[in-house]
Structure 1
Amino acid sequence: MLATYVASGTPRVQCLPDRFFIEVRTLNPFVGRIFSKGQSKRAGCMAVFNSNSSLVEVSFSLNECGMMRERKLYPSAGLMLSLTIVISFHSFFITKADQAFSVKCFYAQARFATLEHFVNVSSLVASEIPAYDTTAAECNYVVRVGGPDGEVARFVEVGQRLFHEWTCSGSDDLHILIKDCRVADDTGEQFRILDDRGCAVDPVIVGDLVYGKGAKEAHVYSYAFKFADTSHVAFQCTVQLCSDLEDDQQCSSISPPSCSVGRFDANMMTKSYLKRLSDASLHDEIDVHSHMMAILDTKINNDQHQMSRSGLSSTHDSHRKFGGEVCISQSSFVAYGISGMILVSAALFVICVQCIALRRSRTEAQPHAC
């Protein structure tokens, strides 16, 4: 009968200036929760329903509740916001009837042109300038298992080797810089892994990127990791697009970044490097993010399983042999000691009783004088 409780069709979404507005219609009156994935206990990110209506409404404020932001240039410039909502038909648990939907809203960037002064330029001859457009570039970010030919990483274990790959399509003169990368869990907690220059923040987690010869792709190997209390992570990065004009090599000096420098040189270099970033010709920025991955910590689970097994086996096998020697546990040693003391005490008690009885029998056997 679970099928009678599922949502009827796809939820209706309205992309409002300040929030997502969502309508959900169910086959029966809805009793349960609607919440953003990973935010079921956060105020403003979940709603509880216990009514007789089969049409329920819920809204989520922009940039809240783990909402993902992704700047776009193609096919039109704007901001893509996405959120995963869960429709749960139970007040506490996730059940078979529950459903999840990925909600996306695109907010187009308004472009205005204002002409303030009119100047007679009819006598001037206009010269054509080569146009290099970065807005037609499309970029993707994917994480694979093992290497470039591995499958997309969706379920991996802590410590498993991963291959991060960024690729962009565009004109031949296009250069890309991957920077400001962050890893986030499904609760919204974030950790920065690449800085504004495109250099690794913590090489133990993710190292410096390797750029391809065409400067339109980059990759790096890492090992799977996770936050302490959650099992899902996703990566998001900013891709700076730059196109070299004729006889202009500014983009080549930006990508790939110069990360392998000393601390003192890095401080001196950062100012000039960031200036080149802001002065780069025809540069635009877009955001890309990977898919959500489930990271399993099998090592901790195995350790706990082994500890539980050893704890159980110690109650059944209190002593073991190692190299001809017998090892017993402390509890077993105490038990054996107490048992030995009891046996010795019992033996002494029996001996004393026998001695007393023997003395009495000898006394009674002696003749009495008249």
Structure 2
Amino acid sequence: MACLFLLCLLVRAALCVDEGSVAEEPSVFLQTALKAHDRSQKTSSRNIEVECDPDAITIQLRGTRNFNGMIYPKGLSTNSSCMMQYSKGISDSLVYKLPLRSCNTMSTDVRGGVEYFNTVIIEPHRKVVTSRGKGFHIRCKYHTLHNHTYAFEARAVDKAERPDVHMRIYVGNSEKQVVAENVKIGDPLTLSVGIEPNSMYGIRVTNCVVRDGFNWGAQPLVNNEGCPIDKEIMPGFEYSDGTSKATSTFLAHKFPYTKSVYYQCHVRLCHKPSGGCDDVPPTCDGLRPDRRDRGRMPRSLSRSIRDVEEIKAIEIGDKSTEVFSGLYVNEPSDVERETSHAF
């Protein structure tokens, strides 16, 4: 196997070509905030060039005028929007874009940043998979903000004072902090979202959804108030460490046509000293007592409270953060199915 690496200040691209076999599929996904950079970096090997962009890995193949085949991530050769077919004689070069957030692209935390990787198959036939197909191990390393690696994509203002938000999916409970990689349907998992415990900020987790990575299917999990939509799939979050950590334990699930699943939630910081975290966790089975009491307040007092809340929102700014994480969920084998149904 021959590998070519290019290391620079902001991003690194690596291309490893395996002529004979394709490596095992990567097993964990953590979306991380990328440090802003003026241009993407490139590396090339033979007739293949890899370019690391903020939201995708661009692969360019040269000398392809006679190429009549398809390009796809390993495991996604059929019924996949990630598979592209190419016809002979169209161009002397081909471009294939591999998104960072789908198509089995996975990532891992590395020193000073995060590395995204995937295995791309270049098959010189448009319909069937043959022994002539070759696997290319594509890697792009991005340096993260503040030289730390966290599983989030920040969309907040006031970055100097904003705590870093992280999201992880653990096997079982989060006490042992074993990151879930390859699991089976029904395995217990814990989705953990949090910041470093502090006296200033807490968090409120809302708008969670699980996606298939193809834009084919999505299942809402938590609504805009932070309440669970279907408790059988994922129950509500439990908050701890002074509302700086939220966890939800659930059983692994997947979409029927893919084993990769991606979870996405929105996290908003709340300001503890001003009472902004008093409604965390939310009451999901009825009105909160403070909301019922507010209706009985004098109009002047209610207006004063509303004014304070508006000022508080201005002071804190929009600290909404999108967190993104994923893993592989496998179906039990036929033998395991029979065993589980035996009496």
TM-score by length of 2: 0.57
SS in 1 for 2:165: strand
User: Given the alignment of the two structures, is residue 101 of structure 1 paired with residue 138 of structure 2, yes or no?
Assistant: yes
Residue ranges of structure 2 left out of the alignment (5+ in a row):
2-17, 23-43, 106-111, 146-152, 295-304
Q: Which residue identity does 1:192 align to in structure 2?
A: P
Which residue pairs with 1:88 in the alignment?
122
Q: Out of 306, 311, 328, which is 1:293 matched to?
A: 328
CA distance in 2, matches of 1:145, 1:64: 22
Compare 227-236 and 38-47 and name the one that shifted more: 38-47
Q: Out of 228, 252, 258, which is 1:224 matched to?
A: 252
What is the total number of aligned residue pairs between the two structures? 264
Identity %: 19
Query: How far apart are 1:194 and its partner, in Å?
Result: 0.7
Which residue pairs with 1:144 in the alignment?
170
Which residue pairs with 2:286 in the alignment?
261
CA distance in 2, matches of 1:160, 1:44: 28
CA distance in 2, matches of 1:26, 1:278: 61
Which residue pairs with 2:50 in the alignment?
12
| Alpha-carbon displacement from aligned partner over 1:183-239 (angstroms, at most 9, x marks no partner) | 112433211101111111100111010111322211111111122332221211111
Q: Out of 223, 227, 248, which is 1:195 matched to?
A: 223
What is the RMSD of the two structures over their aligned residues, measured on CA atoms? 5.2
| Alpha-carbon displacement from aligned partner over 1:279-336 (angstroms, at most 9, x marks no partner) | 64334111111132232234786339999xxxxxxxxxxxxxxxxxxxxxxxxxxxxx
CA distance in 2, matches of 1:23, 1:212: 48
CA contact (8 A) 1:141 1:289 kept: yes
SS in 1 for 2:317: coil
Higher relative contact order (CA 8 A, sep 6+): 2
Which residue pairs with 1:179 in the alignment?
206
CA distance in 2, matches of 1:298, 1:277: 55
SS in 2 for 1:303: helix
Q: Which residue identity does 1:174 align to in structure 2?
A: Y
**Which structure is higher in helix share?**
1
CA contact (8 A) 2:212 2:218 kept: yes
Which residue pairs with 1:48 in the alignment?
86
CA contact (8 A) 1:34 1:46 kept: yes
SS in 1 for 2:337: helix
CA distance in 1, matches of 2:243, 2:130: 46
User: Given the alignment of the two structures, is residue 302 of structure 1 paired with residue 337 of structure 2, yes or no?
Assistant: yes
CA 1:180–1:267: 2 relative to 1, 3 Å:
farther
Q: Which residue identity does 1:256 align to in structure 2?
A: P
Query: How far apart are 1:142 and its partner, in Å?
Result: 1.3
CA 1:279–1:260: 2 relative to 1, 3 Å:
farther
Q: Which residue identity does 1:139 align to in structure 2?
A: V
Query: How far apart are 1:254 and its partner, in Å?
Result: 4.0
CA contact (8 A) 1:140 1:167 kept: yes
Structure possessing the higher radius of gyration over alpha carbons: 1
Q: Which residue identity does 2:227 align to in structure 1?
A: C
Q: Which residue identity does 2:226 align to in structure 1?
A: G
Residue ranges of structure 1 left out of the alignment (5+ in a row):
69-74, 110-130, 308-370
SS in 2 for 1:196: coil
CA distance in 2, matches of 1:39, 1:134: 46
CA contact (8 A) 1:36 1:46 kept: no
Which residue pairs with 1:169 in the alignment?
196
CA distance in 2, matches of 1:253, 1:26: 63
CA 1:65–1:139: 2 relative to 1, 3 Å:
closer
Please list, as runs of the form range in 1=range in 2, the aligned pairs for 1:114-133 lying within 5 A after superposition.
none
User: Given the alignment of the two structures, is residue 158 of structure 1 paired with residue 180 of structure 2, yes or no?
Assistant: no
SS in 2 for 1:142: strand
Q: Out of 57, 67, 78, which is 2:95 matched to?
A: 57
CA contact (8 A) 1:224 1:295 kept: no
TM-score by length of 1: 0.54
CA 1:67–1:162: 2 relative to 1, 3 Å:
closer
CA distance in 2, matches of 1:301, 1:230: 19
CA distance in 2, matches of 1:144, 1:290: 11
Which residue pairs with 2:41 in the alignment?
none
| Alpha-carbon displacement from aligned partner over 1:2-48 (angstroms, at most 9, x marks no partner) | 6289983774226499x875324699x86642246748545686242
**Which structure is higher in strand share?**
2
CA 1:101–1:132: 2 relative to 1, 3 Å:
closer
CA distance in 1, matches of 2:184, 2:139: 25
